[in-house]
Amino acid sequence: MERNVFDDAYLGDLSSISPDKVIENISDFGIVTFSVDSGNARHALVGLAQALGEIRSHPHSDRDGATSIAPRRDNDLHPGRMGFTQERLLPHTDASSMASPPDLLLNVCATRAEHGGETLLVDMRSVLTQALKTNPVALERLSAPGTVIFGTGGFSRASSVFAVRNGRIHVRFRQDEGVFFGAPVLKEALELIGLVDAMTVRMSLEEGQGYIVDNHWWLHGRASFAGPREIIRILADVRADRSGGVGETGFPWHVSSTAQEKIRVGTVG
Ligand SMILES: [Fe+2]
């Protein structure tokens, strides 16, 4: 039976959750789930995001920094606007083509779909652990700078799937029109796509239920759906000067100094 992610990561009602506890759990597990009075969900989520750090504004966000993710009648199937359709979104890192993707993704369900629309989640620490069992150079290769291009059309950025910094690994991953894997990492990228698919967990959110993930650790997506589903989304960065300690993003990982050096210089051959 599939693990119940919502219950495992549940911290309680948003009105009683301490921001310090959220940061602590995000640093340890990369994910937190919560519930909130659905009439107050947007306001409460904005308040928590401000307590955790800085809200990252987005071209589609409103003045409070939150974005309503719901089907829009005038929408096409443009890659950057797939969120505003009823289509499936394969698990991905948000804003993967930016120089620094946001640290946190906060999502709360405002309106549940009639059918489908389950949240898809992938723990990339588990995926990497699994990948290394069959391919010991997977991390080294997929950390080489410039081996993956993220973006579409006129805007793109050469980067890598993994980046190792201070004993933690930051992930950038997607598998839609917004990514191009270079030939030297194609084998590893295909293996990773298979593992991401096999290790995706589904979470069905009721109205007023939500989650926060470390965008450098967990991938998120959604199943296709029918009906007027609405999710309120906030992207945020953990603020370095917040009281109560600073949570670290990305997942902890022991890298030997030899491996670290190989990764740093981008050895892929
Ligand atoms: Fe997303």
CATH code for the domain in which residue 96 is found: 3.60.130.10
Average pLDDT, rounded, for the chain:
90
Burial class (CB in 10 A: 0-12, 13-18, 19+), 98: middle
Q: pLDDT digit string (tens) for 45-92?
A: 999 999 999 999 888 888 899 999 998 876 666 666 788 888 999 999
**119 C-alpha vs ligand 1 centroid, how far in Å?**
11
**167 C-alpha vs ligand 1 centroid, how far in Å?**
26
**256 C-alpha vs ligand 1 centroid, how far in Å?**
33
Percent with pLDDT over 90 in the chain: 75
Residue 86's CB: how many other CB atoms inside 10 A? 18
**31 C-alpha vs ligand 1 centroid, how far in Å?**
15
**108 C-alpha vs ligand 1 centroid, how far in Å?**
13
Residue 117's CB: how many other CB atoms inside 10 A? 22
Structure token pair of residue 163: 């980046």
User: At 1, is the pLDDT very low, low, confident or very high (cuts 50, 70, 90)?
Assistant: very low
Distance between CA atoms of residues 170 and 76, nearest Å: 32
> Which domain covers residue 129, as residue numbers?
5-265
> Which of 2-6, 15-19, 243-247 is the least confident region?
243-247
pTM score: 0.92
**60 C-alpha vs ligand 1 centroid, how far in Å?**
12
Sequence-distant contacts of 38-41: CB under 8 A, at least 24 apart: 38/110, 38/207, 38/208, 41/14, 41/108, 41/110, 41/208, 41/210, 41/232
**123 C-alpha vs ligand 1 centroid, how far in Å?**
15
Q: Which residue did the predictor score with more confidence, 105 or 262?
A: 105
Domain count, the chain: 1
Helix (H) or strand (E) holding 209: strand 209-214
User: For 98-105, what is the mean pLDDT?
Assistant: 95
**220 C-alpha vs ligand 1 centroid, how far in Å?**
6
Structure token pair of residue 21: 């506890």
**88 C-alpha vs ligand 1 centroid, how far in Å?**
11
| C-alpha 170: how far from chain center | 11
**265 C-alpha vs ligand 1 centroid, how far in Å?**
31
User: At 243, is the pLDDT very low, low, confident or very high (cuts 50, 70, 90)?
Assistant: low
**197 C-alpha vs ligand 1 centroid, how far in Å?**
16
**128 C-alpha vs ligand 1 centroid, how far in Å?**
21
Percent with pLDDT over 70 in the chain: 88
